[in-house]
Structure 1
């Protein structure tokens, strides 16, 4: 039996500590993705995106193990977030204004053909509503700032303000790209005060 690889334990991009903001370089990474807009708590499309991503992610994992002899732990849900006004994330928290892309990281040895087969297998019976929206794409973020937030998503504002308004300008940087969250906890099962979320912001020299 092949050893099962847990990439979130081996990749530096998934390392973060509470209270520590750090700079890192994130290599180009492949993800299964689905796009959407609006309040994640109120939009059916948000739940439907998750329901489409994970069947494909698991079909790809099983195919990798069977066909390639390479087994791995399916990675946690991640999200890219944007809004016309950055204050929608910090002081105003206007979730209705958010655009989002939900993602599951896919190992680089899982190629396009295997993912296409995984999508077809996920749709063979009781296909998820948004299965046709699932795509495989490479995200190149480069230099980033990140930290670990522990607690409710609604309590992220002060942490993001510290990153956006203090750390980034103090280091001669400016924001570029989309706000990125990595959900180390399953928010459907874990109490809000115990949620562990990596907060990441791509940056470039100011």
Structure 2
């Protein structure tokens, strides 16, 4: 049985260079999604959201393999981050962050399957975030991205270079939420070795 892996199928989106920024065209993609607010290190809603996403994603994986004879690797955790002032990402004022945490969905997974998976996950765990889990489809379009290697809190110099040098120098403006893709498991990876895709949708200034 062939196993679909979004990181391999879309290397252009999940394996950018760490040396410099690159421009990509991101088509419409579908995700499991949960919204929230606050510091991801301390907000209970954040850990509940991540748990809800993974429990639903793995339920979908096993259901698909059993009933559709199609298997897939559960994609990495991703996050859309937003705030009234983008400068809070440079100052790391995490209590002011709004977020939507994501896990990509294979194209053959239906909303009905997701509803069943959420119900099955809810039977096992009374996680309040499951009530807010939904399917989200969106198109980022033209985006600038780079691979960051290191601690999440060490992203600031790269984001500063993106926001205040690369984008102005190339006549670009913000056109969507700051997007991060977490390729490493922080529970098993040293902070200095964490790999994170940093992506920013852009438009002509």
The two structures share one fold, judged by TM-score above 0.5: yes
SS in 2 for 1:28: strand
Quick one: distance in 2 between partners of 1:114 and 1:129?
A: 20
Quick one: distance in 2 between partners of 1:3 and 1:180?
A: 29
Query: Residue 185 of structure 1: CA displacement?
Result: 0.4
Residue 160 in 1 paired to residue 159 in 2?
A: yes
The CA deviation string for residues 72-107 of structure 1, in whole angstroms up to 9 with x for no partner, is: 1000000000111211111x2111111111110001
Quick one: distance in 1 between partners of 2:61 and 2:20?
A: 33
Quick one: distance in 1 between partners of 2:121 and 2:145?
A: 33
1:101 counterpart residue number: 100
Residue 59 in 1 paired to residue 59 in 2?
A: yes
2:117 counterpart residue number: 118
Quick one: distance in 1 between partners of 2:110 and 2:168?
A: 39
How many pairs were matched up?
A: 204
TM-score normalized by the length of structure 2: 0.96
2:14 counterpart residue number: 14
Tell me the C-alpha RMSD between the 2 structures: 1.1
Unaligned residue ranges in structure 2 (runs of 5+): none
Query: Relative to structure 2, which stretch is displaced further, 108-117 or 148-157?
Result: 108-117
Query: Residue 178 of structure 1: CA displacement?
Result: 0.2
SS in 1 for 2:123: coil
SS in 2 for 1:35: strand
Please list, as runs of the form range in 1=range in 2, the aligned pairs for 1:4-43 lying within 5 A after superposition: 4-11=3-10, 12-43=12-43
1:73 counterpart residue number: 73
Query: Residue 7 of structure 1: CA displacement?
Result: 1.5
The CA deviation string for residues 98-154 of structure 1, in whole angstroms up to 9 with x for no partner, is: 111111000111111111111111112223231111111102111100000000011
